[in-house]
Structure 1
Amino acid sequence: MTCLRHLPNAITIARMLSLIPLAWLMLQKQYTGALILALVAGVSDGVDGFLAKRFGWEGRLGSILDPLADKLMMLCCFSVFMYQGHFPLWLFLLIVGRDVVIVMGTTYVNFFVGRLKAATPTLVSKVNTALQILLILTLLVTLSGVYNLHQLNQWLIVLTAIFTMISGLHYVWLGFRIKRQFQHERS
């Protein structure tokens, strides 16, 4: 049973490795295969989370790898979509910019203000991530020819942009709040 406690992390690492065939399939315009692989990755994300919580196999490594795998998957898909002209550059830059601001802010607070505990994503961040994942899936569904979701994709682009901005601003606000809290505790 001791070896099984590493199963959620192994599933997460396998999901990270699946980025290579996913990107290749997308670049080859094999969108049906890419859609299937993306759905399998999504299911594996749920399975590793379920196993970790259900059996108490949660750990620091998993808490880092799991969101990293999700971010890499989304970055990979958005990068290929943008390269192929299916995704606007401005939205790609907005999404990446938000993540860079969050990483820089977290790094600053950790090194210059005080050690942060692992944070749970905020509700607005969860909605933002869900919209990004939904956008990837609807683009893959449309490009694979399964069903034309072009209108929905256009709305999801707008909603994703709005929630990316709101989420980014929310994290900046939280960063300033945490900084004030640490400063208050020190004085």
Structure 2
Amino acid sequence: MSVQNNIDSRIEVSGSLFTISNFISFSRIFIVIPVVYRHYTNGYSVDAIVGILIGYGIISDYLDGFVARKTNTISEVGKMIDPISDKIAAGLLFIYTVVIGWVPLWFLWLFIARDILILIGSSFIKLRYGKVAMSTISGKISVNVISLYWISIFFFRSASLAHTILLWASVAIMLFSFIMYLLRYKNIMNGARFN
């Protein structure tokens, strides 16, 4: 296992794939299957098991980074797995809610387009500069606001005002975080080091 010292934040970054934190990140993707299956077979109703699984998915988004720092297993792979797991899990859940008619299709297209552009930018930075552009704070906030929107749709069907507010808040923070990613790419291209 290779370890490098990041001069910007003095955090050791490993190249390991098989870490507890990476497993936690991966697990977010796999909870989607039982959530969708149970919700659909229960007549679009939420039960305790679905609630627990969704709760775990939210908590795990913070838990993986905490575990990585505490166990000193922050890895280049993990820095990519974390946001990718977020996007895949959220994307699958939003696809489901679009299919059953609870979320507008245009929102899903905006969500996907933004993430594809971020993925292309991050891949370019990795290939050209050998750096991994970690999730920005605004990116994390974006995930949380979008999650709140999805939760309001999924758990509180009658809260139409909350749905509308969180829908447009999600759009705004998605666009803002996209700009923040562009600025991070620009800084890396100008010589900044972000691990």
Q: Cα deviation per residue 1:10-56 (whole Å; 9 max; x = unaligned)?
A: 33333322121122234332423433311122223333332221121
Partner letter of residue 46 of structure 2?
Y
Q: Cα deviation per residue 1:52-74 (whole Å; 9 max; x = unaligned)?
A: 21121222332222222211111
Point out where structure 1 has 5 or more consecutive residues left out of the alignment. 183-187
Q: Is the 8 A contact 2:28 2:85 kept in 1?
A: yes
For 2:119, the equivalent position in structure 1 comes to 103
Please give the secondary structure, in 2, of the residue aligned with 1:168: helix
For 1:9, the equivalent position in structure 2 comes to 22
| CA drift at 1:158 | 0.6
| CA drift at 1:173 | 4.8
Please give the secondary structure, in 1, of the residue aligned with 2:171: helix
| CA drift at 1:136 | 1.7
Instruction: For 1:164 and 1:43, locate their aligned partners in 2 and report how far apart those are by CA, in whole Å.
Output: 21
Please give the secondary structure, in 2, of the residue aligned with 1:120: coil
Q: Is the 8 A contact 1:12 1:65 kept in 2?
A: yes
State yes or no: 1:129 paired with 2:139.
no
Name which of 176, 183, 191 aligns with 1:166. 176
* Bigger mean CA offset, 39-48 vs 88-97: 39-48
Point out where structure 2 has 5 or more consecutive residues left out of the alignment. 1-17
State yes or no: 1:48 paired with 2:58.
no
Change (3 A) 1:173 1:45: closer
Q: TM-score, normalised by structure 2?
A: 0.75
For 1:31, the equivalent position in structure 2 comes to 46
Q: Cα deviation per residue 1:59-104 (whole Å; 9 max; x = unaligned)?
A: 2332222222211111011111111111111111111110111112
Instruction: For 1:9 and 1:122, locate their aligned partners in 2 and report how far apart those are by CA, in whole Å.
Output: 18
Name which of 82, 86, 94 aligns with 1:66. 82
Q: Is the 8 A contact 2:122 2:133 kept in 1?
A: no
- Root-mean-square deviation (CA, aligned residues, Å) is 2.4
Change (3 A) 1:24 1:167: same
| CA drift at 1:164 | 1.4
| Structure number with higher helix proportion | 1
For 2:164, the equivalent position in structure 1 comes to 154
Q: TM-score, normalised by structure 1?
A: 0.77
Q: Is the 8 A contact 1:110 1:116 kept in 2?
A: yes
Partner letter of residue 154 of structure 1?
T
